[in-house]
Amino acid sequence: MLLAYGAMVAATVLSYLWIRGLGKGLVAAQPPLEPGTDATGGGSDVLAHLLLALAVITLLARFLGGVFRRFLKQPPVMGEIVAGLVLGPSVLGALYPAAHAFLLPDEAVPYLGMISKVGVVLFLFLVGLDLDPRLLRMHKHATIAISHASILAPFLLGAALALWLYPRHSTSDVSFTLFSLFLGISLSVTAFPVLARILVDRHVQHTPLGATALACAAVDDVTAWTLLALLAGVASSQMGTALQTVLWVIVYVAVMFGVVRPLLAPLVAREQRAEGPLSHTALAVVFASLLFSAVATEAIGIHSLFGAFLLGALLPHEGRLAREIRQRLEDFVLVLLLPSFFAFTGLRTEITLLDRAEDWIACGAIVVVATLGKFGGTAAAARLTGFSWRSSAALGILMNTRGLMELIVLNLGLDLGVITPSVFTMMVLMALVTTLTATPALELLRGRRGLGNVFAPGVEGSGRAG
pLDDT digits (tens, 9 = 90+) for 54-108: 999 999 999 999 999 999 989 898 999 999 999 999 999 999 999 999 999 988 9
Split at pLDDT 50, 70, 90, the class of 237 is: low
Q: Using the predicted structure, report yes or no on whether residue 353 has a pLDDT greater than 70.
A: yes
Domains of the chain and any CATH numbers: 109-448 (1.20.1530.20)
Q: Using the predicted structure, report yes or no on whether residue 39 has a pLDDT greater than 60.
A: no
Q: Using the predicted structure, report yes or no on whether residue 252 has a pLDDT greater than 90.
A: yes
**What is the 8-class DSSP label of residue 232?**
H
Q: For residue 396, what pLDDT is reported?
A: 94
Split at pLDDT 50, 70, 90, the class of 18 is: confident
User: What percentage of residues in the chain have a pLDDT greater than 90?
Assistant: 54
d(CA 250, CA 252): 5
Split at pLDDT 50, 70, 90, the class of 439 is: confident
Q: Using the predicted structure, report yes or no on whether residue 242 has a pLDDT greater than 70.
A: no
Split at pLDDT 50, 70, 90, the class of 452 is: very low
Split at pLDDT 50, 70, 90, the class of 446 is: confident
43 φ, ψ (degrees, to nearest 5): -65, 150
Split at pLDDT 50, 70, 90, the class of 406 is: very high
Q: For residue 419, what pLDDT is reported?
A: 94
Q: 65-102 burial string, b = 16+ CB within 10 Å, else e?
A: beebbeeeebbbbbbbbbbbbbbbbbbbbeeeeeebee
Q: For residue 463, what pLDDT is reported?
A: 41
Q: For residue 339, what pLDDT is reported?
A: 94
Most trustworthy range by pLDDT among 219-223, 272-276, 290-294? 290-294
Top pLDDT among 221 and 150 is at 150
Long-range own/partner contacts, residues 294-302 (CB < 8 A, 24 or more apart): 294/121, 296/252, 297/229, 297/252, 300/233, 300/245, 300/248, 300/249, 300/252, 301/232, 301/233, 301/236, 301/237, 301/245, 301/248, 302/229, 302/230, 302/232, 302/233, 302/236, 302/245, 302/249
* Mean pLDDT along residues 345-349: 95
Mean pLDDT lowest for which of 41-55, 79-93, 104-118? Answer: 41-55
Q: Using the predicted structure, report yes or no on whether residue 15 has a pLDDT greater than 70.
A: yes
User: What percentage of residues in the chain have a pLDDT greater than 70?
Assistant: 89
Determine the longest span between alpha carbons in the chain, in angstroms.
Answer: 98
pTM, two decimals, is 0.86
Q: For residue 458, what pLDDT is reported?
A: 44
Split at pLDDT 50, 70, 90, the class of 451 is: very low
CB 350 within 8 A of CB 94: no
- pLDDT digits over 129-163, tens only? 988 777 666 556 678 889 889 999 999 999 999 99
Split at pLDDT 50, 70, 90, the class of 464 is: very low
Q: For residue 238, what pLDDT is reported?
A: 52
Tell me, letter by letter, the H, E, C secondary structure of 281-309: HHHHHHHHHHHHHHHHHHHHCCCHHHHHH
